[in-house]
Amino acid sequence: MEKEFTYEDYQSTAEWLLSHTEHRPQVAVICGSGLGGLADKVTQAQAFEYSEIPNFPQSTVPGHTGRLVFGFLNGRACVVMQGRFHFYEGYPLWKVTFPVRVFRLIGVDTLVVTNAAGGLNPKFEVGDVMLIRDHINMLGFSGQNPLRGPNDERFGPRFPAMSDAYDHNLRQKAHWAWKQMGEQRELQEGTYVMMAGPNFQTRSECLLLLNLGADVVGMSTVPEVIVARHCGLRVFGFSLITDKFNMNPESSEKTTHEKVLESAKQAAQKLEQFVSILMANIPPSDKAI
């Protein structure tokens, strides 16, 4: 069995990054499937392949490039993860969330999480953007939690609260940013539910998740958010609706990863503009990290 990372492992990766770049980011952005184009908008960019960085896992999924890009987004010092890690790739959750604690150690105070998700809420359409107001951690129901095991108080408390996981003020600023863009569809807001994957859900599973109070379903994000809140980072997240739950049992329409990537590609410009406007309006954290 693989040994979990120690505080010193996180520290050595953070020190390696700080010694290889002069950038000192305030905001970290994790790009979901097909959303990595955001990293191409970074100015004064300095990129590292994940394979170059000590202790970093490797991204194995199409649509996840596997680079860490430092620089500026609309004047905001940031680091962008062009590709994330997933439980379904075979990684334990402590490895999936490894970068988040490294970000905290290099001085980041705000984490922006993005993902491609399936729409459960019948009001949502493909191409909609949903701010994540809350999440349901289905993986956690089965005992899979990134905080499982010994707790290191240098990162955070043994029993962190998740009732305020997604920052209210940043969501308000996001609604303002969306209005500046003049989009026809309103900015949605709701609950994200995480499933283990990698298969897409059955109709019965979708109905169950809808009845549990979920608006969208995906296979990521929640572990990173839990670790970010544990170590004191402020979190903002959104989902791009790349496919929609079809309630017709006779329909032969299927969700595929290719369709997900195509939907993300079509929405790329809108999302890049949205995040760019938002970046300029993220205030400094009121909590020193």
All structural domains of the chain with their residue ranges: 7-244+253-279
User: Alpha carbon of 58 to those of 84, 96, 215, 243: distances in Å?
Assistant: 9, 10, 30, 27
Give the pLDDT mean for 255-284.
Answer: 83
For residue 60, name the pLDDT band (cuts at 50, 70, 90).
confident
The token duo for 248 is 């017709």
Residue 83 has pLDDT above 90, yes or no: no
Give the pLDDT mean for 186-214.
Answer: 95
Mean pLDDT of the chain: 91
Contact call for residues 126 and 239 (beta carbons, < 8 A): no
**pLDDT value for 246:** 76
Q: Which residues contact 163 (CB under 8 A, 6 or more apart)?
A: none
Domain 7-244+253-279 CATH assignment equals 3.40.640.10: no
Percent helix, strand and coil across the chain, each rounded to 5? 35, 20, 45
For residue 18, name the pLDDT band (cuts at 50, 70, 90).
very high
**pLDDT value for 285:** 67
Share of the chain above pLDDT 90, in %: 75
Residues 158-167 have pLDDT tens digits of 999 999 999 9
Dist. CA 137–CA 280, nearest whole Å: 31
Share of the chain above pLDDT 70, in %: 95
| Residue 186, amino acid | E
**pLDDT value for 87:** 95
Q: Which helix (H) or strand (E) holds 114?
A: strand 110-119
Q: Are strands 129-137 and 188-194 parallel, antiparallel or unpaired?
A: parallel
The token duo for 123 is 């009001």
If you ran DSSP here, which 8-state letter would residue 150 be given? -
Q: How many CB atoms lie within 10 A of CB 230?
A: 24
For residue 38, name the pLDDT band (cuts at 50, 70, 90).
confident
Buried/exposed 75-86: b ≥16 CB within 10 Å, e otherwise: ebbbbbbbbbbb
Q: Where are the alpha helices (DSSP H) in 122-254?
A: 138-141, 168-181, 203-212, 222-230
Instruction: Name the nearest CA neighbour of 78 among 65, 69, 87.
Output: 69
Q: Which of 63-67, 176-180, 200-204, 214-218 has the highest mean pLDDT?
A: 214-218
**pLDDT value for 70:** 98
Q: Which residues contact 29 (CB under 8 A, 6 or more apart)?
A: 38, 73, 78, 79, 80, 81, 111, 112, 114, 275
Q: At what angle do helices 257-279 and 168-181 cross, to 10 degrees?
A: 100
**pLDDT value for 65:** 77
Report pTM.
0.94
For residue 288, name the pLDDT band (cuts at 50, 70, 90).
very low
For residue 286, name the pLDDT band (cuts at 50, 70, 90).
low
Instruction: Give the residue, 242 or 229, on which the prediction is more confident.
Output: 229
For residue 226, name the pLDDT band (cuts at 50, 70, 90).
very high
**Dihedral, CA of residue 162, residue 163, residue 164 and residue 165, to nearest 10:** 30
Q: Which helix (H) or strand (E) holds 194?
A: strand 188-194
Which residues on adjacent β-strands are paired with residue 208?
none
Q: Which helix (H) or strand (E) holds 135?
A: strand 129-137
For residue 269, name the pLDDT band (cuts at 50, 70, 90).
confident
Q: Which residues contact 145 (CB under 8 A, 6 or more apart)?
A: 93, 137, 139, 223, 226
